Chains A and B, each alone.
Chain A
Amino acid sequence: MDEAVRTRGLVKRFGQQTAVAGVDLMVPKGSFAGLVGPNGAGKTTTLSMCTGLLRPDYGSIAIDGFDVWTDPLSVKSRIGVLPEGLRLFERLSGRELLLYNGQLRGIPRAQVQQRAEELLRVMDLVDAQDKLVVDYSTGMRKKIGLAAALLHNPEVLFLDEPFEGVDPVSANTLVEVLQRYTGSGSTVIFSSHVMDLVERLCDWVSVMSQGHIVAQGPVAEVRQGRTLNEAFLDLVGARGHGDGEGLSWLGSR
């Protein structure tokens, strides 16, 4: 099985806190992979390190066999990124943002223009293409961000919480584009809290908890007959806090 992403012993500490404690993430080529885990499990940190935005303390990362930190040139032309928080170049219009991004990656202007127009149409952003990104809504930002990430036709796409705060209509557009993209043999890795979505979209899932990968494989294998949500709660050992001891004061009048 060809690997699109492979990390070995990835570790990242912030001061005293260990955010990622030896992660061996593996995603096969052509899969639609979900990276799930509770808040603070280290998903964002892992994705940032995979995309070369954050330097790991230990460990190695290979994308399509190229090491992220020793061969950045090969890696960066192969990946597209939509990070968390989604700060874009706010004072450009959506269209200008795409043009800038494409040219920054060395694609000739005419070709960028053509791709940008198609992407804007698919993402339903034609009406807003000349508005400044700073005035975009969350859904529009995610869409223009995804368009920018897809513009250079990467082989592997990293998306950090792409569906958070997105309305159902925009989410549907995103899903359609992504499914079409993986259908052609490219790889998507996205982090999410929404198990139903991961179960519906993904064929591969990696479950993180407290800086470790606790399960990883084809979705059916990880589920083992349960719903993904149940499997997830069992894996991260997070059941039973809500109705246990304490909080007796809550709601009592």
Chain B
Amino acid sequence: MIGTFVRLKLRLIAGSLRGELIRQLGFGFSIFAAVICASLGFLLFSLARFGAADLAVQVGAVVFTGAVLSWMIVPLLAFGLDETLDPSRLALFPLTTRQLATGLFAASATGAWPIASLVALFGGVVGLSRGLGGVLIGLVAVPLVFALCLVASRLVTTALSGALRSRRGRDLLAVAVVFVVLLTQLPNLVLNRGLPGDGMGMFRAAADALRWTPPGLAAHAIADGGLIGVLDLLILAAVVLLLGWLWILALRAALVRPDASNQGGSVRRSRRTGLLPDSRLGAIIAKELKYARREPRGRVAWFSAAAIGGIMLFSLNGTQNAQDAVNAPGFGLAVGPALIAALMIGVQSANTFGIDGRSLWMNAVAFGSDRDVRTDFAGRQLANFLISGPLLAVISVIGAVLGGNLLWAVPATLLAWCMLGLAMGTGALMSVLSPYTYPERMNAFSGAAPGQGGQAFVAGFGALFGAGLLILPVLIPTVFFAPWVSVIGAVYGAAVAWGGRRIAAKIGFRRFPELLAAVSRPT
């Protein structure tokens, strides 16, 4: 049974690669990244060997716990890494829950990234063990930690799968994910609030607390290498079994729970429609504004951009206080958060048509020339700016006030708008060059259709890199000697957005059928 599931997973991966070159390249890149992560992770973790024994254990506890936590959270945030089988697709097969559980467990251990994590975790055997006993225990402990990662990850996604299946639940969970991200930022914020400034002490305190968590026990077991280590392992194994059992329970419940009904309420008719021009452009702007509000992906994107801006403001401000505001980067505080937020918002436009997905045909049958596609881009960019323009201005003003000079808000806002324009311009290009499908249901399993993780990466990275590069000629003079350059910057940003959508519309109109196919893949 395990073999069948592993073969199924491998066949799914292979099947998703058939045909298109760009996907194969993306997959190759993903493998390459996994190999790099595996070897770097292994090496760095091994280096713990050269530290003091107690420090090594602390590092081990933190790394192991970090691994388990990221396995729990990353599939929820889903950047196209995890393409594990959805249990509900297997519900009708005559499999016992145990077979299903072991099979899914094996399937989730199959793939480049799971193996990369396993290899990196094995670095702990080198880094932590202090004798033969340690090595032997490590050879058991690391697979146990890995199993813990998988089981915890599966438990979280399966337990939430019921919520993920109803429309409202999915919508809610999507937004809740943002708060998970915020939560992970909490320690960072606390650190930056300038507590006694003793980072090492904080680390040790945290590690000592983590020492008693199951992954911490694993680290201790390897370092101990004796009887106590074996005891640690027994506890760890018990925890894995317990979580596995809970997972089976959740799986059993998830498979028989009925699909939640979709009794949606009515929406209010917009009164603002009258304010928008009575034209194609106006219709597109109106639709985009509604989507920003109603589509969970849109809500998430906006919430997270605002949240990142807020976090940056808060933590940079903390850093500044800690440095007694003598050589404080006040101007940086005004510019930094707004710029990052602008980049975050702009990069969303790197897969403009992905949000429409399989509904994009409705535009396709109406667009008769590249002019129409250009109008579509323009409407989307304008709608985006109607929300992000004021948002970025607010972040800049707060940053400037915290930084100590309200006037800084002006260049900061202009720079942020410039960044936004650049990201929109490059994003428009990436949207037609490397389009991909968002999963139809915003689920916990993946961020792009199976096999399209590569395209997702290329699009996001391309837009990010392009905008990051293009901003330099404006950013450097503005920050270091001539704030007025930011005025040119705003015009420059608008020009790049304009040029980007012009070129993108030309390319996009010619390959609209292909574009349509790329954003309408089955997920």
User: CB within 8 Å of B: which residues of A?
Assistant: 15, 51-55, 72-77, 79-81, 83, 85, 87-93, 95-96, 99-101, 103-106, 108-109, 130-132, 134-135, 148
CB nearest neighbor in A for B270? A96
When the two chains form the complex, which single residue of A73, A77, A134 contacts B264, counting CB atoms closer than 8 Å? A134
A92-B291 Cα distance, complex, nearest whole Å: 8
- A109-B282, A130-B268 known, 17 other contacts, Cβ within 8 Å: A15-B18, A52-B365, A72-B368, A76-B366, A89-B356, A91-B291, A95-B269, A96-B290, A100-B287, A101-B362, A104-B284, A104-B366, A132-B264, A132-B267, A132-B294, A135-B167, A135-B262
Interface bits B502-523 vs A (CB < 8 Å: 1, else 0): 0000000000011011001000
List, in ascending order, chain A residues with CB within 8 A of B369's CB: 72-73
Does B6 belong to the interface (CB within 8 Å)? no
Does B203 belong to the interface (CB within 8 Å)? no
List, in ascending order, chain B residues with CB within 8 A of A88's CB: 359, 362
Total contacts A to B, CB within 8 angstroms? 103
Question: Which B266-283 residues have a C-beta within 8 angstroms of A?
Answer: 266-270, 273, 278-280, 282-283
When the two chains form the complex, which single residue of A53, A80, A89, A106 contacts B364, counting CB atoms closer than 8 Å? A53
Does B96 belong to the interface (CB within 8 Å)? no
Among all A-B residue pairs, the 10 with the closest Cβ atoms: A135-B264, A103-B283, A73-B368, A87-B358, A130-B266, A91-B294, A76-B368, A109-B278, A55-B513, A104-B366
Q: A96-B290, A135-B262 are in contact. Are A52 and B364 (CB under 8 A)?
A: yes
Looking at chain B, what size class is its interface with the partner chain?
35 or more
CB nearest neighbor in A for B440? A87
A72-B363 Cα distance, complex, nearest whole Å: 13
When the two chains form the complex, which single residue of A53, A80, A108 contacts B513, counting CB atoms closer than 8 Å? A53
The reply to whether A51 and B365 contact each other, CB–CB distance below 8 Å, is: yes
Q: A76-B366, A103-B282 are in contact. Are A53 and B516 (CB under 8 A)?
A: yes
Does B361 belong to the interface (CB within 8 Å)? yes
Q: A54-B513, A131-B266 are in contact. Are A83 and B361 (CB under 8 A)?
A: yes
List, in ascending order, chain B residues with CB within 8 A of A131's CB: 264-267
List, in ascending order, chain A residues with CB within 8 A of B457's CB: none
When the two chains form the complex, which single residue of B278, B513, B517 contacts A52, counting CB atoms closer than 8 Å? B513
List, in ascending order, chain B residues with CB within 8 A of A109's CB: 273, 278, 282
* Closest Cβ–Cβ distance, residue B197 to chain A (whole Å): 49
A14-B230 Cα distance, complex, nearest whole Å: 57
* Closest Cβ–Cβ distance, residue A213 to chain B (whole Å): 23
List, in ascending order, chain B residues with CB within 8 A of A55's CB: 513-514
* Closest Cβ–Cβ distance, residue B297 to chain A (whole Å): 10
The reply to whether A76 and B367 contact each other, CB–CB distance below 8 Å, is: yes
The reply to whether B359 and A87 contact each other, CB–CB distance below 8 Å, is: yes
Does B286 belong to the interface (CB within 8 Å)? yes
List, in ascending order, chain A residues with CB within 8 A of B290's CB: 91-92, 96
A116-B422 Cα distance, complex, nearest whole Å: 39
CB nearest neighbor in A for B520? A87
List, in ascending order, chain B residues with CB within 8 A of A81's CB: 361, 365
Does B295 belong to the interface (CB within 8 Å)? yes
Q: A15-B19, A81-B361, A89-B287 are in contact. Are A103 and B269 (CB under 8 A)?
A: no
A79-B359 Cα distance, complex, nearest whole Å: 17
Does B327 belong to the interface (CB within 8 Å)? no
A25-B273 Cα distance, complex, nearest whole Å: 43
List, in ascending order, chain B residues with CB within 8 A of A104's CB: 280, 283-284, 362-363, 366
CB nearest neighbor in B for A106? B280
Q: A53-B513, A81-B361 are in contact. Are A92 and B263 (CB under 8 A)?
A: no
List, in ascending order, chain A residues with CB within 8 A of B273's CB: 99, 109
A51-B282 Cα distance, complex, nearest whole Å: 26
CB nearest neighbor in A for B368? A73
Interface bits B232-275 vs A (CB < 8 Å: 1, else 0): 00000000000000000000000000000011111111100100
Q: A77-B368, A83-B361, A135-B167 are in contact. Are A93 and B266 (CB under 8 A)?
A: yes
CB nearest neighbor in B for A134? B167
The reply to whether B365 and A79 contact each other, CB–CB distance below 8 Å, is: yes
Some 21 contacts from A to B, beta carbons below 8 A apart, are A52-B364, A52-B365, A54-B513, A55-B513, A72-B368, A77-B368, A89-B359, A90-B359, A91-B294, A93-B267, A96-B286, A96-B287, A99-B273, A99-B283, A103-B278, A103-B282, A104-B284, A131-B265, A132-B264, A134-B262, A134-B264
